[in-house]
Chain A
Amino acid sequence: MLLKTLITRLLTMIVTLFGVAVVVFTLVRVAPGNPIAMMLPPGASEEDIARLTALYGFDKSLVQQFFIWLGGVVQGDFGTSITLRQPVDQLVLSRLPATLELAAMALVIALLLGGTVAVLGARNRGTGTEVGLDLTSGAVLSIPDFLWGLIFVLIFGVLWPVLAISGRIDPRIEFDFATNFYLIEGLLRGRFDVVGSTLSHMVMPAMSLALPLAAMIAQLLKQNLKGELVQDYATIARVRGFSETTVILREALRNAALPTIALVGVQFTFLIGGTVIVERLFAYEGLGNMAIDAVINRDLPLIQGIVLLFAAIFIMINLIVDLSYTLLNPRLRHG
């Protein structure tokens, strides 16, 4: 049963990725801007241009180019970055950990913050506290992630400079990283200066990404909690003497979380999309930042590689959401 689902999903994934490959490949070539012209100094000879164009295969037809590229991709060869002159897969994989750590941190913050506000709102339903929390989350939601970034930079970077506003880690720290998961590796190897510096660089971009999602979770989860708290099983728990907080946390929360998960999954993919601009804002060395450079430089192989990777990440998130939904729901688990 589960196996069949997995195989179906895997096939769907391949088809989706192929579609994404076609679209991105076409789009980057239709868009104006010649990557070769940008590589050469002004006044380069026609000959030079022709040579370089041939080197990157841009002289062939679009269809030919696509299948050459796809043939490479299937064998794990994503081509070479035009500007950075390194294999695309190495470049992309070296940046992926930074973005994953940032997105995961943002998700954790959003879940904790949104969950807490939802529980507080449900606990104080019908009071001014609930109204206040609703208004606050409504206001938070109306400000997009990059604006939060600017606000944070202004407050914690300029007015009261306590946090790092640029990069991923203090360059003065000497540490021989085995991976690019700075935070995780710092934690595992007990280097708390690394952890501290990484966190100081990560807090603002992570918060910027997390706040809108937190507000959305707060609203939806609270609504679901209120729906669960009028159910008979909650009433019975109250008659058994359990406090309202216990009723919420132990009885209602799981039931309310289940329908929230689907939304969190979708919103989390938006959050990952948001990393592109937020990483740029904080000069955070992740995939998103690299994507913007790639677009500016018309680095076609690199753009293609990054977009494919983002697509794969989105598909994985959807898969994880579906699986966790099944695992958390006993009615589906045995079905």
Chain B
Amino acid sequence: MTRTVLDIMNLTVNLPNRTRILRDVSLSLEPGEVRALVGESGAGKSMIGKAVLGILPPKVRISEGEILLDNEHLGAMTPVTRRNTVARMSALIPQDPLTALNPLRKIGPQIVDPLRRIHGWSADKARARALELLDRVHIRAPERVMASYPHELSGGMRQRILIAAAFAPSPRLIVADEPTTALDVTVQKEILKLIRELQRETGTAVLFVTHDMGVVAKISQKVTVLFAGKVMEDAPTEQVFSGAAHPYTRALINATPSSADPSRSFTPVPAQLVADLHREIAQDDHLYMTVTS
């Protein structure tokens, strides 16, 4: 058996009225791999990350399927074991660095406390590790930053702190949920580069949620394309960009304004295509309701 970091098998996630938010989703990540998760807003990209990390919103439930972290079934664990396993194995880089740090706590403890909890390290050891990582993400005065409150730092700084905090416990998997969307364009590139560098150095697998096909090309080896909670395509990144892609994926690529070449024209996803996909999903829903009721 190959040692996958993350293996999602036939995951279906429901609301209490059995509306499906994720439909039979499967994907996996090898160690050191970056998989991009793309799709329009509301497609369920974040929901996949949340299901893995055990932070689904209230009332949203996993109704079918399995999630394996490092070949261990999360579903078979007690809540406490699952929480500890997820904390040890994985980390989250969120979208908005402004709300992801507690405004009333200093930066230092916000990095150090989790390290102590996850690895049982001493305060000194955890602190040394935090400083090391802050230095690694090019924060110039890490000691001073540790003693600062979030509001004293810029958005880019905070996102670098969150990246440092995510990598500090040496997780095997990082879920990065649109980590650059809330940032200035210039900062975006820097942050992307940083995540890629750290990911390569440490061999951490990354599930990278994004809207931006340009980012997909830069950072990922694999792509999962999602539409209305359903996987449209799961393929190596180069294959997707060399043209051999599902029509919806191709439409997404054509619909992305290129940040590298802003003059390139882009066309919105054709309405007919979206309508066809929705019809397909509706038929599928009808079948699902009939079978499961």
- Chain A interfacial positions (CB closer than 8 Å to B): 125-126, 231-233, 235-243, 251, 254-255, 258, 328-331, 334
With a cutoff of 8 Å between Cβ atoms, the chain B residues found around residue A231 in the complex are: 99
B260 in the interface (beta carbon within 8 A): no
Given known contacts A241-B84, A241-B87, A241-B118, is B103 in contact with A236 (CB within 8 Å)? no
Stretch at the interface among B31-39, B89-97, B134-142: B89-97
Q: A231-B99, A238-B54, A239-B92 are in contact. List 13 more A-B contacts (CB 8 A).
A: A232-B100, A235-B94, A239-B90, A240-B87, A240-B91, A241-B87, A241-B117, A251-B102, A254-B105, A329-B104, A330-B103, A331-B151, A334-B152
A-B contact count (CB 8 A): 67
- Chain B interfacial positions (CB closer than 8 Å to A): 53-55, 58, 83-84, 86-88, 90-92, 94-96, 99-105, 110, 113-114, 117-118, 149, 151-152
Provide the bound-state CA to CA distance between A233 and B100, in Å.
4
With a cutoff of 8 Å between Cβ atoms, the chain A residues found around residue B99 in the complex are: 231-233
- List 9 A-B pairs, Cβ < 8 Å: A233-B100, A236-B100, A239-B87, A241-B118, A254-B105, A258-B104, A330-B103, A330-B149, A330-B151
Q: Check A241 against B58 for contact (C-beta < 8 Å).
A: no
Q: Check A240 against B114 for contact (C-beta < 8 Å).
A: yes
Q: Check B104 against A235 for contact (C-beta < 8 Å).
A: no
Q: Check B114 against A255 for contact (C-beta < 8 Å).
A: no
Q: Check A255 against B55 for contact (C-beta < 8 Å).
A: no
Q: Check A238 against B55 for contact (C-beta < 8 Å).
A: yes
Question: Taking CB as reference atom, which chain A residue is nearest B104?
Answer: A254
- B13 → A minimal CB distance (Å): 17
Given known contacts A233-B100, A254-B104, A330-B151, is B118 in contact with A240 (CB within 8 Å)? yes
With a cutoff of 8 Å between Cβ atoms, the chain B residues found around residue A232 in the complex are: 94-96, 99-100
Q: Check A255 against B103 for contact (C-beta < 8 Å).
A: yes
With a cutoff of 8 Å between Cβ atoms, the chain A residues found around residue B58 in the complex are: 125-126
Q: Which 4 A-B pairs have the closest CB atoms?
A: A241-B87, A240-B114, A232-B100, A330-B149
- A318 → B minimal CB distance (Å): 23
Given known contacts A232-B100, A233-B102, A255-B103, is B53 in contact with A239 (CB within 8 Å)? yes
